[in-house]
């Protein structure tokens, strides 16, 4: 994978979020340009984020020149027409945003899959785009109590979450997983979105149409000229530049004596590695 050229434009969705804000900070330090999206109702968070970047050593002049924050609700990512102008001129898209209002909803997998597909179709229409990075999760591979004593690979998926949330199986068929049912929409949504991405790139690279006018093969739909990359964070901790993420929120809740997060976790056995 090639290094980004200097002064590349990087589109980062949900830029005020914990992970996305750190990606933006790194990109600005590397002298890249950032176009970050924020929900319309959260545009007031743009100023504190800029202030946080200054506190992290980014000159105000650099922020003024290289940081653009634009409103985009999560529903906008399901619109190909809205995504194309958002991606125009970009070298890379880093999709981090998540519809927080649907985080525990059974509809989340479909929302994530639809938005991922629309964004990839839009990305195929942007000739400058060379990389699409999807922020998945370790939950896309496994979710307690399915932990196994083996090295996990690209061939592993959270099959229980997919069967329950996407294929409609009853969670009662998996009694050990009932305690983590609340986390299944997220796990299944991330897993299926990854599959959508990899399938899209594979499928569009081989779908060709024979042109009788030229006698040549041409793409049936625009061929992606970009790499699809999926990253799977687990717990992420560090300084909060914008909104605290689930990982940081869990730590803050524990320090405050708030036990509401414990319903998302089950006891884990420790093993000597």
C-alpha–C-alpha distance, residues 140 and 143, integer Å: 8
C-alpha–C-alpha distance, residues 143 and 141, integer Å: 7
Q: Which of 6-20, 65-79, 100-114 has the lowest mean pLDDT?
A: 100-114
Residue 204 has pLDDT above 80, yes or no: no
Mean pLDDT confidence for 239-253: 72
Mean pLDDT confidence for 115-121: 96
Distances, alpha carbon 164 to alpha carbons 98, 103, 195, in Å: 21, 16, 17
Reported as half-sphere exposure (CB side, CA atoms, 13 A), residue 253 has a value of 14
C-alpha–C-alpha distance, residues 155 and 195, integer Å: 11
Q: Which residues, other chains included, contact 2 with Cβ-Cβ below 8 Å and sequence gap of 6+?
A: 130
* The predicted structure's pLDDT at residue 96: 96
17 contacts 243 by C-beta, under 8 angstroms:
yes
Considering only CA atoms, which of 161, 132, 163, 159 is closest in space to residue 231?
132
Identify which has the larger pLDDT, 222 or 91: 91
Is 207 in a helix, a strand, or coil? coil
Q: What are the structure tokens assigned to 239, written together?
A: 């300084």
Which contiguous run of DSSP H or E holds residue 9? strand 9-12
Identify which has the larger pLDDT, 269 or 238: 238
Q: To the nearest whole number, what is the mean pLDDT of the chain?
A: 85
| φ, ψ dihedrals at 257, nearest 5° | 80, 15
Residue 247 has pLDDT above 60, yes or no: yes
pLDDT digits (tens, 9 = 90+) for 54-71: 999 999 999 999 999 999
51 contacts 26 by C-beta, under 8 angstroms:
no
Name beta bridge partners: 35.
11, 68
Considering only CA atoms, which of 123, 153, 156, 88 is closest in space to residue 228?
123
Residue 1, classified by CB atoms within 10 Å of its CB into exposed (0-12), middle (13-18) or buried (19+), is exposed
pLDDT digits (tens, 9 = 90+) for 180-191: 888 899 999 999
* The predicted structure's pLDDT at residue 188: 95
Going by pLDDT thresholds of 50, 70 and 90, the confidence category of residue 26 is very high
* The predicted structure's pLDDT at residue 273: 43
**Domain at 9-138+191-262, CATH homologous superfamily:** NAD(P)-binding Rossmann-like Domain (3.40.50.720)
Name beta bridge partners: 213.
none
C-alpha–C-alpha distance, residues 224 and 241, integer Å: 33
Helices 80-87 and 108-123 pack at an angle, to 10 degrees, of: 50
Going by pLDDT thresholds of 50, 70 and 90, the confidence category of residue 31 is very high
Residue 195, classified by CB atoms within 10 Å of its CB into exposed (0-12), middle (13-18) or buried (19+), is middle
93 contacts 122 by C-beta, under 8 angstroms:
no
- Per-domain residue ranges for the chain? 9-138+191-262
C-alpha–C-alpha distance, residues 105 and 189, integer Å: 10
pLDDT digits (tens, 9 = 90+) for 127-158: 999 999 999 998 999 876 666 677 888 888 99
DSSP conformation class of 209: E
Going by pLDDT thresholds of 50, 70 and 90, the confidence category of residue 272 is very low
């Amino acid at each position: 994978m090639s290094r980004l050229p200097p002064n590349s434009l990087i589109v980062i969705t949900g830029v005020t979020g914990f992970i996305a804000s750190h990606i933006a900070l790194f990109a600005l330090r590397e002298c890249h340009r950032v176009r970050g999206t924020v929900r319309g109702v959260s545009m007031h968070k743009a100023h504190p984020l800029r202030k946080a970047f200054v506190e992290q050593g980014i000159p105000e002049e650099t922020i003024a020149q290289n940081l653009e924050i634009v409103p985009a609700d999560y529903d906008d990512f399901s619109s190909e027409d809205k995504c194309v102008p958002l991606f125009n001129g970009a070298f890379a898209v880093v999709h981090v945003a998540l519809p927080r209002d649907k985080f525990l909803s059974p509809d989340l997998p479909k929302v994530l899959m639809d938005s991922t597909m629309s964004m990839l179709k839009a990305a195929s229409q942007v000739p400058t785009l060379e990389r699409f990075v999807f922020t998945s999760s370790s939950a896309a591979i496994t979710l307690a109590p399915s932990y196994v004593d083996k090295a996990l690979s690209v061939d592993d998926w959270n099959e229980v979450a997919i069967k329950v949330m996407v294929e409609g199986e009853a969670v009662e068929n998996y009694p050990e997983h009932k305690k983590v049912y609340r986390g299944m929409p997220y796990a299944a949504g991330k897993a299926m979105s990854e599959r959508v991405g990899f399938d899209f790139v594979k499928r569009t690279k081989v779908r060709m149409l024979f042109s009788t006018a030229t006698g040549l093969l041409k793409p049936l739909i625009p061929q992606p000229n970009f790499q699809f990359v999926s990253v799977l964070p687990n717990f992420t901790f560090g300084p909060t530049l914008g909104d605290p993420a689930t990982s940081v929120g869990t730590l803050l809740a524990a320090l405050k004596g708030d036990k509401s997060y414990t319903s998302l976790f089950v006891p884990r056995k420790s093993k000597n590695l």
